Structure 1
Amino acid sequence: MSKTKVLHIIRRSEGGMKKHLLSLVRLLDKEKYQIAIFCSFDQETQEYLKGLGIQVFEVDIDDGINFKKDYKAIKSIRKIVSEFKPDIVHMHGAKASLVGRIACYNKPVKSVVTVHNFLNYNNMNLYKKKLILGLSKILDKKTSQFIAVSNALKNDLILNQNVDKNKIKVVYNCIDTTFYDETSFDLRKELNLPENSFVVGSIARLIPAKGVQDLIKAASILKNINAYFVIAGDGPFKEELQKMIEGLNLKDKFFLLGYRRDIPAFLRNLDVFVLPSHEEGFGISVIEALNEGIPVVATKVGGISEIIEDGINGILVEKGNHIELAKAIQRLLTDEELRKRLSLKGKNSAEKYSCKKMVEEIEQIYDSLKGR
C-alpha cells in the first residue's frame, strides 16, 4: 500500500506551535506517512528533521502581512505542492494557513488547519483586516478539517469565524521533553540567591499578551518576602520589561533569563510556576509544570481553564489583576500543605496529555480524509 503524503507548513516559531509540530512529525508512523515540511526553522532543527527522514523545504513566512514576501511564499508552496504531490497539506497557525490555503486553492489536496492561538487584529489596519477576514471566509469553506488545540479555540472558530462545528476536532497538545537539554543545575547558586529562598518562575515569550508585566507588578507587592522571580524566555518586549523591573527597584529580585533549552530542570528549581497570560490558546508550559509537580498559578483565559481546575490542581486568577496574582502566589508560598496537594493533583492530571494520544488522534484524521 502506498504511503499517504503529508506536507506541513509553518511560519517561523519558537513556542508551543513549533513544539507541537516537532512532536507530531517525530511520532507519526513513517510506514504509513511520507512527510515533508515547509518551514524557516534554524539549521539545527532542519538537520534534526532530515535525520528523521523528513524532507525539508525552506520558506520564509512572516508573522504579519507582507504582500511581497507572502506572494513569494505562495509561489514557492505551489511549486513544491506540484512536485511533492501531497495527499494532505497540514498548516499550523493563522499565517501559514492563510498563505498555504491560497497556494493550494485549486490543487487536488485535502487541507488541514491546526489552530494554536486566537486571531489578533489589534496591530492591523482596517484595509488589511477586511482583506484577511474576507479571504479567510472563502478559504474556511474549502478547508477539509480544522484541529483546535483547546475547546476555547474551537468555540472561537464557531462564534467568530462561523466555521462549521462538524469540521472541527479538538486535539490537545502533549508533554514532550525530547527536545530539551536534560541537565541538572541549582538556580539559586546560579543567581546567588539564599538557599532557603522561594523561587517563583514562568516560561513565556516576552510580549504583552503573556502578561509578564503583571507578574512584575505582583513581585513589587511581594518584594519584602523571601521570594525571587525568574522568567525563561525572550522576545521584543524584553527591554521594556527590564526597565519596568529597574523602575520598581526589583533588579535584585526579578530576573529575565532569556531563552533556555533546559526547561524540565528549570521547572524543578521552582516552588511555584506562574502563567499570567492575557490570552492563551492552550498553554503547553502549564502542563510541563504540572508534569514536574510544580504548583501552578495561572490566569483564567483560553485553554488554561481546561487544564487547571481552580483549587484542585492549581489556582486560577483573573487576567491583568496583579493584586489577585500576588495574593495567590503568597497563599501558595505560605501554605506548604496546599503546595504539596496541588503538586500531587497536578502531576496526576498531566498524565492525560500524552504524545501517543495526540498523534493517534491526528492519524485518525489523516486516515479519514484519505477515504473521503
Structure 2
Amino acid sequence: MKKILLVDTKYKEGGPKTVHQNILNSYLSKKYEIKEIGLNDSVLHFNPIKGIKFVLAYWKLINAEHADVALVRGLQYIGFLMVLAAKLSNVKKTIVCVHGSDWDVPERTFRKIILKYIIEPLEIRMADSIFTVCQAEQKIVKPLKLAKKRANKGVIYNTFPNININKITSGKLRKELSIPENKIIVISVGRVVIRKGHQYIIETLKNFKDSVFVFVIVGSGDYLHHYEEQCKEEIAERRLFLLDNRTDVYELLKDSDIFLFPTLNENHSMALLEAINMHCTAIVTNVGGNTETIIDGETGIVIRPKNTADIVRALYRMKDKDVRKIYCNEAFRYAKEKFSIMNTLGKLEELF
C-alpha cells in the first residue's frame, strides 16, 4: 500500500483544512495510507535562519514517514520551503497543489518580485507533478510554463462537500441571534482580511438601508476591527453580527439565505462550495475560480470586484425568494456534478 503525505502548515479551520479532511475521509484512505503532517504556521519574513530551520524541521518530518508521495500545498514562500524539504527527503514523488500564488495579487514590491520571478518558478520546477485548483490560475501563474515536461497536470478542482442538508440542524443561527423569519440573512464566511473584499461589505452596509436584510460575518482576521469601528450603528441596530471563528459553519449556512463573496482574488473556494451545499444563493466577484463555480444569471449572480453598487443591485435581485430558490437549486445541481468525487479525487489519484 502506497503511503501519501499531505504536507502543509497546521490550520485550525478554513479551506486548506477542509481540503485535507475531504481527502482523509474519502475512498482514497482505503486504498492508500494517508497521513497529514505539518507544523504550526509561522512568519518567516525571508529570514534565512528561520527558513533553514523550517526546511530542516519538515525534512525530518517527511523522512521519518518513508512515504511514496508528498502532496504539498503551494505556492508562495512557505510552499517553496516545504517542496524543498520534500525534494531533499527520501520521498519518491513530490506533487504540488497550487491553492494560491503571489501572482494572484498585483503588487510590485521588492518582496513580491522575488517571490514571483525567483521563488515560485524554482518551486514549480522542483515539482514532479503540479496542478491548480481552478482554470483561472493556469493563466494567472506565468511560471507554470517552466514546469518539467508533462509535469503540469492542469486543473483538479476541490471536491464538493455533498453533506446531507437534512442532517444539519435548522434554526440555530436565527435562534442564537434572535433573527425573525421574515429577515433575509446575508452571510460571509472566511478570513476577515482586506483581500476578501470586506471593505465593500462595509460600504454596502452604509449605503444599503433595506431593513429586511441582516448581515452576519463569520471569521477572524486583521480587518475585523474595521467592522467594529465603522459599523457601531449597524451593530447596535442588529443589522450586523460579528461571530468570529465557528465550528458549526454548516448550521449557520443552512439558516442563511445569501452567501456574499466580494473577494478580490480567489482560487476554488471551499467556503463557496459549502454555502452552495447548504442551499445559500451566492453573490460572487468575477475573479479567479469563482466563475468556474457560479454561472451568472443561472446559478447565482456574478459582480465586478470593488463595486458596492453591484452588490446592492444583486441584493435587491435576491430579495425575491423564488429567484433565490432557482439559483440555489441550480448551483447545487451544477456543483455536485462538476466537482464530484470522481471528477476531483479521481483525477488526483491518477497522480499517485
Query: TM-score, with normalisation over the residues of structure 2?
Result: 0.87
User: Deviation at 1:292?
Assistant: 2.1
Distance in 2, matches of 1:297 and 1:266, equals: 17
Is the Cα–Cα contact under 8 Å of residues 91 and 97 in structure 1 kept in the other structure? yes
- C-alpha distance in 1 between matches for 2:100 and 2:269: 10
- 1:60 aligned partner, one-letter code: N
Q: 1-side partners of 2:297 and 2:196: how far apart?
A: 22
Q: Answer yes or no: is the 8 Å Cα contact 1:182–1:262 preserved in 2.
A: no
2:81 pairs with 1:99: yes
Alignment deviations for residues 195-231 of structure 1 (CA, whole Å, 9 cap, x no partner)? 3222111212100111122112112222233211111
Which of 161, 164, 176 is the aligned partner of 2:161? 176
Alignment CA distance shift 1:135-1:276 (3 Å): closer
Which of 261-270 and 351-360 deviates more?
351-360
* Structure 2 counterpart of 1:144, from 104, 112, 128: 128
Instruction: Decide which of 214, 224, 230 is 2:210's aligned counterpart.
Output: 224
- Match of 1:210? 196
Deviations 1:254-312 (Å, cap 9, x if unpaired)?
A: 11111112222211212222111111111222222222222211111100010111000
Q: TM-score, normalised by structure 1?
A: 0.83
For 1:54-93, what aligned pairs fall within 5 Å after superposition?
59-62=39-42, 64-67=44-47, 68-93=49-74
Separation in 1, partners of 2:177, 2:241: 9
Specify the code of the residue in structure 1 equivalent to 2:51.
D
26-35 or 15-24: bigger deviation: 26-35
Give 1:148 deviation, angstroms. Answer: 0.9
Residue 33 (1) aligns with residue 32 (2): yes
Report the Cα offset of residue 129 of structure 1: 4.3
Match of 1:256 among 229, 232, 242: 242
Give structure 1 stretches of 5+ with no counterpart.
40-58, 367-372
Supply the RMSD in Å over aligned alpha carbons.
2.7
Asked whether 1:350 is paired with 2:301, we answer: no
- Kindly indicate whether residue 118 of structure 2 is the aligned counterpart of residue 134 of structure 1: yes
**Alpha carbons 1:301, 1:319 under 8 Å: kept:** yes
3-state SS in 2 of match to 1:172: coil
Alignment match, 1:15 = 14
CA apart distance, 1:31: 4.9
Distance of 2:89 and 2:324 partners within structure 1: 54
- How far apart in 1 are the matches of 2:157 and 2:189? 19
Q: Which runs of structure 2 are paired with 1:188-207 in the superposition (5 Å)? A: 188-207=174-193
Call closer, same or farther: CA 1:102–1:225 in 2, change over 3 Å: same
Structure-2 change in CA distance of 1:125 and 1:337 (3 Å): closer
Q: How many angstroms apart in 1 are the aligned matches of 2:81 and 2:346?
A: 27
| 1:126–1:96 Cα change, 3 Å | closer
Paired residues of 1:216 and 1:254 also in contact (CA < 8 A): no
- Counterpart secondary structure, 2:288: coil
CA distance in 1, matches of 2:116, 2:131: 20
The answer as to whether partners of 1:12 and 1:62 remain within 8 angstroms in 2 is no
1:298-352 Cα deviation digits (max 9, x unpaired): 111100010111000100000110111111111111x233222212212211212
Question: Structure 2 stretches of 5 or more lacking a match?
Answer: none
Count of aligned pairs between the two proteins: 342
Name 1:281's counterpart in structure 2.
Answer: 267
Give me the whole-angstrom Cα distance separating, in 2, the residues matched to 1:131 and 1:118: 9
Q: Distance in 2 between matches of 1:148 and 1:354?
A: 17
